[in-house]
């Protein structure tokens, strides 16, 4: 496909170690390193804090406080460590190659963020201005603004880690071995969707939310193949999560850094399902806008 010409250069570093067994072993090793480091980090933290901070453990499960959110989002950096170990020891190449050329990724990231901010501002000014009822204030504006620079950095760490794993490592390794987008686009997106299947939290909407994540993954795979870097995918993912985590979050899930809370929770099946088509629409508009921003 002519639109994917840049993809060849993107996955070129993976060609020398494109054996499927290396991808499978690499993914398992990276997952094990991440889980090990994650458990070690939080175990050490709880041992230092002591049993009197039991409520802090509950905060971490739901992300109800700014500190809990910083720790949860920052822990995704350990995912990058796991992938870095794998790319160096198994594939004999640097982890930076999973992002693509920096002089390409950074300008593309900036261009996509710029256009999505403009679209977001226009959307904010147009009706409807809420989810049927007014947003609930979650944090004083002054405190939110003070935390905002740090919040943005931690969200960037979180989304970059996920993109490096799924659209970087897995997509590159599969594309270096298989030509068909049905493999290098669909398989990483299916893994991404599986990671977002949370029936205990989402209840009846768990499958729909996982489907949303799968479609999102395929659109980000398309962007990456067209751009030749992770810049646009990270930008779209970043703007999406800034909206969902920092601006208007659900009251029962990762709300510690949000300025507002939406007027329904994960348990409100009908209310959440009613807004999922809107989310799908925003996702497609963001993807189209990003494609426009990187058009050369």
For every one of its 296 residues, what pLDDT tens digit does the chain have, with 9 covering 90 and above? 568 999 999 999 999 999 999 999 999 999 999 999 999 998 888 888 777 666 777 778 778 899 999 999 999 999 999 999 999 999 999 999 999 999 999 999 999 999 999 998 887 777 665 555 677 889 999 999 999 999 999 999 999 999 999 999 999 999 999 999 999 999 999 999 988 887 777 677 788 888 889 999 999 999 999 999 999 999 999 999 999 999 989 887 788 999 999 877 776 777 777 777 888 888 999 999 999 999 86
Of the candidates 257, 275, 258, the one whose C-alpha atom is nearest the C-alpha of residue 266 is: 275
CA distances from 117 to 85, 113, 145, 158, 277 (A): 35, 6, 17, 19, 21
Report pTM.
0.92
What does the pLDDT read at residue 214? Answer: 93
Kindly state the tokens that stand for 293.
């921003």
* Structural domains of the chain, count: 1
What does the pLDDT read at residue 127? Answer: 64
What does the pLDDT read at residue 128? Answer: 61
Kindly state the tokens that stand for 138.
């979650």
Q: Give me the half-sphere count of Cα atoms (radius 13 Å) on the Cβ side of residue 287.
A: 18
Question: Angle at Cα 109 formed by Cα 227 and Cα 100, nearest 5°?
Answer: 50
Q: What is the DSSP letter of 170?
A: I
Spell out the long-range contacts of 22-26 with Cβ–Cβ below 8 A and sequence spacing 24 or more: 22/90, 22/91, 22/173, 23/170, 23/173, 23/174, 23/177, 25/90, 26/86, 26/87, 26/90, 26/91, 26/169, 26/173
Q: How many CB atoms lie within 10 A of CB 56?
A: 16
Question: Angle at Cα 251 formed by Cα 247 and Cα 256, nearest 5°?
Answer: 60
Let me know: does 183 contact 247? Beta carbons within 8 Å.
no
Spell out the long-range contacts of 276-280 with Cβ–Cβ below 8 A and sequence spacing 24 or more: 276/205, 276/208, 276/209, 276/212, 279/212, 280/212, 280/215
Order of all β-strands in the sheet with 248-249: 136-137, 260-261, 248-249
**The tokens 């290098």 sit on which residue?**
184
What does the pLDDT read at residue 279? Answer: 83
Q: Which domain holds residue 122?
A: 2-293
Question: Angle at Cα 104 formed by Cα 101 and Cα 109, nearest 5°?
Answer: 115
């Amino acid at each position: 496909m002519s639109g994917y010409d840049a993809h060849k250069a993107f996955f070129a570093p993976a060609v020398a170690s494109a054996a499927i067994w290396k991808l499978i072993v690499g993914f398992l090793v990276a997952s094990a390193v991440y889980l090990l480091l994650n458990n070690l980090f939080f175990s050490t933290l709880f041992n230092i804090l002591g049993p009197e901070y039991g409520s802090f453990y509950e905060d971490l499960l739901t992300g109800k406080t700014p500190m809990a959110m910083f720790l949860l989002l920052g822990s995704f950096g350990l995912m990058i460590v796991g992938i870095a170990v794998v790319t160096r020891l198994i594939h004999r190449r640097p982890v930076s190659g999973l992002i693509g050329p920096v002089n390409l990724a950074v300008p593309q990231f900036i261009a996509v963020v710029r256009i999505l901010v403009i679209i977001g501002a226009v959307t904010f000014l147009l009706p409807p201005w809420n989810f049927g009822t007014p947003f609930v204030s979650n944090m004083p504006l002054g405190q939110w603004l003070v935390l905002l620079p740090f919040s943005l950095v931690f969200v960037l760490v979180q989304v970059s880690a996920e993109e490096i794993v799924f659209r970087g490592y897995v997509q590159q390794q599969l594309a270096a071995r298989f030509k068909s987008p049905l493999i290098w686009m669909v398989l990483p997106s299916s893994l991404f969707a599986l990671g977002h299947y949370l029936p205990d939290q989402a209840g009846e909407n768990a499958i729909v939310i996982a489907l949303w994540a799968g479609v999102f993954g395929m659109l980000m795979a398309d962007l990456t193949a067209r751009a030749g870097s992770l810049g646009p995918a990270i930008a779209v993912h970043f703007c999406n999560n800034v909206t969902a985590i920092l601006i208007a979050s659900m009251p029962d899930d990762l709300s510690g850094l949000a300025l507002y809370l939406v007027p329904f929770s994960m348990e409100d099946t009908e209310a959440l399902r009613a807004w999922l088509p809107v989310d799908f629409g925003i996702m497609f508009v963001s993807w189209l806008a990003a494609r426009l921003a990187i058009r050369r």
